[in-house]
Amino acid sequence: MNNKEIVLTPSSLSYLCSHCLYMKQNYNLQNNSISAGITGTLDGIEKNFFLGDSNKIDESLKPGQVIDPLNEYFYSKVLYDNKERPFRLMGKGDAIIKFDDGSCGIIDYKTSKFKKKNSKDYTFNDSKLKHKVDEYDPQLHSYFLLYSNLETNIEFLKERYKKRYPRSIDPAKINAGAEKNLEKIKQISISDKPSLFGLVFVYPEEELPVGKINLEKGFSVPFSYKFEKVKIDIDNYLDKITKLIDMLSLKEPPNPPENCGCNLYKYFYDKNRLKST
């Protein structure tokens, strides 16, 4: 593997394609997607709705406050896998819970059709949905390790600011930007005592008949939601990270899988040409 710092994103661990991750980490090649602006708007509405009392998410939760991790990318300190190899986590989560007893929780919102149409209950015993819960498991663990180990080194934060704003050469502005970032980190930093990981599945319940839609006044769609706990298992997560870094350390990338949506590698990948670059 090239001598690059390993930086992993929580989402890449949930939507894992070993080939794409290898190419990104070792060759800085990736297939960038374009997200729809409306998605970010809906995410913001969801986050704002659940802020505050943790009982908004589920009445069974113990007292605590749901806070917004500021919709901004943050970096963890250097962490280590089971073979003592260093890596960092970088990402932005949906929600953090600071419980009154000093412990913390990590929540992620998932807006999709995770239940059958016109059904009153979310089908959490359904094998397809269970697969989704398992798929998001490493994402939640990553967010916990990220927000409980946020990088506070001011020199590191200055470097990140300069990379984010490459035209900024004013030392005073760079220092101010790093200090502002440090203040944000203090707001969202959590304890190393996780007591809850969970997913909130949000579902659009109805479609209004065309005749009842008034485009001038707008229209609303009711949403239901269901909270589902995810098992906390840090040891198992670190096992996954260790195997992942094993893969990233291979001399050659894994072959592109058939089910990967990255057409760049599916149709244009040439291993021999890669070796010669």
Mean pLDDT by 10 residues, the chain (277 residues): 77 84 86 67 88 96 96 95 96 96 96 62 60 88 98 96 88 95 96 96 70 65 86 96 95 81 67 67
Please tell me the distance from the alpha carbon of residue 250 to that of residue 159, in angstroms, as a whole number. Answer: 29
Which structural domain range is residue 146 located in?
7-150+189-276
Residues whose CB is less than 8 angstroms from the CB of residue 160 and which lie 6 or more positions away in sequence, other chains included:
75, 178, 181
Residue 217's pLDDT is 66
Q: What is the CATH number of the domain that holds 107?
A: 3.90.320
Q: Is residue 66 part of a domain?
A: yes
Q: Is residue 177 part of a domain?
A: no
**pLDDT for res 275:** 64
Predicted pLDDT of residue 119? 59
The three-class DSSP label of residue 107 is: strand
Overall number of domains in the chain: 1
Q: Is 261 inside a domain boundary?
A: yes
Domain annotation covers residue 155: no
Torsion, Cα 148 198 56 69, to 10 degrees, reads 30
- Compute the distance between CA of residue 62 and CA of residue 226 in angstroms, rounded to an integer: 17
Please give the pLDDT value at position 44. Answer: 86
